[in-house]
Amino acid sequence: MLKPRILIVDDEREIREAIRIYLRGEDIETVMASNGQEAIDLVKQEEIHLVLMDVMMPGIDGIVATSLIREFSNVPIIMLTAKSEDTDKIMGLSIGADDYITKPFNPMELVARVKSQLRRYLQFNSPQSTPNKDLLEVGGLSMNIVTKQVNVDGKEVRLTPTEFKILALLLKNKGRVFSINDIYENVWDEPGYNAENTVAVHIRKIREKIEINPRDPRYLKVVWGVGYKIEA
């Protein structure tokens, strides 16, 4: 079985070491970086299955580093943000982060969120089952849940892991309307309290990537007052 490998990015050594200790008991291997540039280099050079990215760092901060990593990798990224910095959370999600944890964080919450993201990422990257079996299609939109390739009218589009999970959920259940709480609970694997902003940001980014006109979507439809669906 593949042993997960997590990159911990924080300019404070004490925080990096504390997170390493929390994850060690879960048989998770950890790699350390003290700034954004080190994080970018490590994701390029090594096999990383998840990144824990602090926002406030000297030089290249977590927001910029996440944006640059998204240019070449779909590895899950969880942002570590100050409790009061809501703008950082929204910004992080909008440029490709998959989740965020506020500092100071509860070790059990940290481990639970990490395991949730890892479980889905490693599952979607499993080479089991045949491509045809795992091809989801509607109109000109297609998704291979093994290779994680998404195409719109023959052109490949790049989704973050969380965007991929949301789209996969809706594509597997074409025509079914999912509320914001339904989407959050299925994708993040936890209760969807106060999840509206988080889900809305990801839906907007998915539309920007798969729709010719995001304001008049062909595929990802809103059912006002209810939720979202992929048109069957």
Same domain, yes or no: 119 and 145: no
Same domain, yes or no: 148 and 58: no
The predicted structure's pLDDT at residue 124:
64
Q: Which of 124, 145, 174 is the last residue of a domain?
A: 124
Give domain status of residue 23, yes or no.
yes
* CA neighbor of 107 nearest in space, from 24, 218, 203, 210: 24
Give domain status of residue 182, yes or no.
yes
Give domain status of residue 130, yes or no.
no
Cα gap 51→43, rounded to integer Å:
9
- Domain hosting residue 112, numbered range: 5-124
Same domain, yes or no: 44 and 22: yes
Task: Report, as an integer, the average pLDDT of 58-64.
Answer: 93
Cα gap 167→224, rounded to integer Å:
19
* CA neighbor of 6 nearest in space, from 62, 46, 63: 46
Give the model's confidence band at 195: pLDDT under 50 very low, under 70 low, under 90 confident, else very high: confident
Q: Which of 91, 124, 157 is the last residue of a domain?
A: 124
Cα gap 176→118, rounded to integer Å:
27
The predicted structure's pLDDT at residue 44:
93
- In the predicted model, is pLDDT for residue 191 greater than 90? no
Same domain, yes or no: 152 and 226: yes
Tens digit of each residue's pLDDT (9 = 90 or more) over 90-142 = 888 888 888 888 888 889 989 998 988 888 787 666 544 444 567 888 888 99
* CATH code, 15: 3.40.50.2300
Where do runs of H (alpha helix) occur along the chain? Answer: 13-24, 36-45, 62-69, 86-94, 107-124, 161-172, 180-188, 196-210
Same domain, yes or no: 33 and 62: yes
Same domain, yes or no: 74 and 113: yes
Tens digit of each residue's pLDDT (9 = 90 or more) over 154-167 = 889 999 999 999 99
The predicted structure's pLDDT at residue 131:
44
State how beta strands 155-157 and 220-223 pair.
unpaired
Q: How much of the chain exceeds pLDDT 90, in percent?
A: 55
* CATH code, 160: 1.10.10.10
- In the predicted model, is pLDDT for residue 204 greater than 90? yes
Give domain status of residue 129, yes or no.
no
Average predicted confidence (pLDDT) for the chain:
88
Same domain, yes or no: 46 and 140: no
Same domain, yes or no: 69 and 117: yes
Q: How much of the chain exceeds pLDDT 70, in percent?
A: 93
- In the predicted model, is pLDDT for residue 85 greater than 70? no
What's the order of all strands across the beta sheet hosting 155-157? 135-138, 141-144, 149-152, 155-157
Please tell me the least confidently modeled range out of 68-72, 118-122, 205-209.
Answer: 118-122
Task: Report, as an integer, the average pLDDT of 143-162.
Answer: 89
Please tell me the total count of domains within the chain: 2
The predicted structure's pLDDT at residue 3:
82
3-class DSSP state for residue 85? coil
Tens digit of each residue's pLDDT (9 = 90 or more) over 3-48 = 899 999 999 999 999 999 999 888 899 999 999 999 999 999 999 9
Give domain status of residue 225, yes or no.
yes
Same domain, yes or no: 109 and 139: no
Same domain, yes or no: 17 and 120: yes
Length of the chain: 232
Same domain, yes or no: 119 and 142: no
Give domain status of residue 120, yes or no.
yes
Give domain status of residue 145, yes or no.
yes
Same domain, yes or no: 226 and 180: yes
Give domain status of residue 178, yes or no.
yes
